[in-house]
Amino acid sequence: MSDTFNTPAPTSNLNLTERDQKVIWHPYTQMKNALPHIPIVRGEGVYVFDEKGKKYIDAVSSWWVNIHGHSHPYIAKKVAEQLNVLEHVIFAGFTHEPAVLLAERLLPILPGQQDKVFYTDNGSTAVEVALKMCLQYWNNKGIPKTKILAFKNAYHGDTFGAMSVSGRSIFTDAFNGLLFDVEFIDLPNEDNIANLKSQIANLKSKTACFIFEPLILGSGGMLMYEAKYLDELIFACNEAEILTIADEVMTGFGRTGTYFACEKLTNKPDIFCLSKGLTGGTMPLGITTCSNKIFEAFLSEDKLKTLYHGHSFTANPIACVASLASLDILLDSKTLQNIKRIENKHAVFLEEIKSHTKVKAVRHTGTIIAIEWETGNETSYLSSLRNLLYAYFLDKGIILRPLGNIIYILPPYVISDEDLDYVYSAIKSALEEI
């Protein structure tokens, strides 16, 4: 075999952006008027580099997955070693050290008592499995509880079950008629918490589970709410025998200032969904964990009580090894120091800008800050504003992808003070210039 592939592209006289345009359909992209996609040739730490050598600060951690920086040498080494030993093996009837070791290391650091790990490929599938665990839990017990409770504006993924438990939005519009019915509740606050609790009590007899993003609704616009109210909702669910699912796909692995957002709760959920930062952003992998209470409801001589779910690449050994390496880095005390450093700097920055006339609201949890841009009533301005801001920051060598009129920073934990200051100053100049 040669150093390059033996299959040269038939259109190789074109540049990569042009070749891309001919054959690729990109995610979350209106392809009719999409900006040319920027070819990235290399990543290092908080930076990615394009073909021309231009450097970009990845201030959104490449869609929230990259927690330790790009091409991390320790993760790369562990992955390369594993590639020469075992790339993959069927996970029904067989097992392997990386999958078992990852489960052994992860379960004890999850908040509350978690006993079993179920592997899948991504965040959406981790959510699908969590929902199936809950629905079949009640089915196996012969108790007809099939309703699901979720937050308005939630986002739990793009497969059909995950879409169903997500808020109805432009993302789901074409499919709304096909999504199953879900009971949506408001985010809790001082004023509505008593109401929400009685709502939950009333849903007791028919509701299988409550799925939530703890502390922050990510794609919904970085909407934040307080741990103490979530604690009360989980307590109400426990009283009503409604199972609870913490979707920590985005909040897991240090994002909110603690290893997991649910560490801030007294009442712990029955199930966790993990992905995104799990492998340090190196490979796709999803995990759903549960307590023995749930697992044991599937143990039976009756074949119908089995959890019939599995993906071809379940527990891929390379992805498990990437996760083990990422965990080593996460649990190193330097990483927690970095997380606290980012948290403190964010707080200072928000104080500086929160009274700016163009700032409608600011929100902050852990390593995430969100700045809501004042738009008055003009919704057409809103869509053009998002594109203006996106291009403005790209031009300055920063990847920030506003959610409509909401700019957020969600950086890899290795971002330096200098680079953070550069991102802050770009946002400040955007507030003046746009």
**Considering only residues 120, 122, 244, 314, which one is a binding residue for ligand PLP as defined by CB under 6 A?**
122
DSSP 240: T
310 is in an annotated binding site: yes
Contact 138, 146 (CB under 8 A): yes
Selected catalytic residue, list 145, 197, 268, 276: 276
Q: Reduced to 3 states, what is the DSSP secondary structure of residue 167? A: coil
Nearer to ligand PLP, 175 or 384 (CB): 175
247 is in an annotated binding site: yes
Rounded least distance, CB 223 to ligand PLP, Å: 12
**Considering only residues 91, 151, 155, 373, which one is a binding residue for ligand PLP as defined by CB under 6 A?**
155
Nearer to ligand PLP, 155 or 272 (CB): 155
332 is in an annotated binding site: no
Decide: is 291 part of the binding site for ligand PLP (CB under 6 A): no
- Copy the structure tokens of residue 400: 């920030």
Decide: is 367 part of the binding site for ligand PLP (CB under 6 A): no
Contact 324, 102 (CB under 8 A): yes
- Copy the structure tokens of residue 357: 């006339």
28 is catalytic: yes
b/e 364-390 (16+ beta carbons within 10 angstroms → b): bbbbbbbbbbeeeeeeeeeeebbeebb
Count of CB atoms situated within 10 Å of the CB of 295 = 16
Decide: is 246 part of the binding site for ligand PLP (CB under 6 A): no
**Rounded Cα gap, residues 286 and 310, in angstroms:** 12
72 is in an annotated binding site: no
**Rounded Cα gap, residues 155 and 217, in angstroms:** 7
**Considering only residues 46, 200, 249, 321, which one is a binding residue for ligand PLP as defined by CB under 6 A?**
249
Q: What is the DSSP string of 336-359?
A: HHHHHHHHHHHHHHHHHHTTSTTE
Decide: is 364 part of the binding site for ligand PLP (CB under 6 A): no
Rounded least distance, CB 289 to ligand PLP, Å: 15
**Considering only residues 68, 70, 72, 156, which one is a binding residue for ligand PLP as defined by CB under 6 A?**
156
Contact 167, 204 (CB under 8 A): no
In the chain, what are the helix, strand and coil shares in percent, each to the nearest 5?
40, 15, 45
| Phi and psi at residue 270, to the nearest 5° | -80, -30
Give me the residue whose beta carbon is nearest to ligand PLP. 123
From the list 347, 380, 379, 390, the residue with the least C-alpha distance to 365 is 347
**Considering only residues 111, 167, 188, 218, which one is a binding residue for ligand PLP as defined by CB under 6 A?**
218
**Considering only residues 61, 82, 256, 275, which one is a binding residue for ligand PLP as defined by CB under 6 A?**
275
**Rounded Cα gap, residues 389 and 252, in angstroms:** 28
328 is catalytic: no
Which helix (DSSP H) or strand (DSSP E) does residue 125 occupy? helix 123-140
Decide: is 270 part of the binding site for ligand PLP (CB under 6 A): no
Contact 9, 19 (CB under 8 A): yes
Selected catalytic residue, list 247, 259, 264, 392: 247
Rounded least distance, CB 151 to ligand PLP, Å: 11
Query: What length is written for the chain?
Result: 434
Decide: is 213 part of the binding site for ligand PLP (CB under 6 A): yes
Decide: is 128 part of the binding site for ligand PLP (CB under 6 A): no
229 is catalytic: no
332 is catalytic: no
For the annotated binding site for pyridoxal 5'-phosphate, the residues are 123-124, 247, 311-312
Catalytic residues: 28, 155, 247, 276
Which residues are annotated as part of the binding site for substrate?
A: 63, 155, 276, 310, 401
Residues binding ligand PLP (CB under 6 A): 122-124, 127, 155-157, 213, 218-219, 247, 249-250, 275
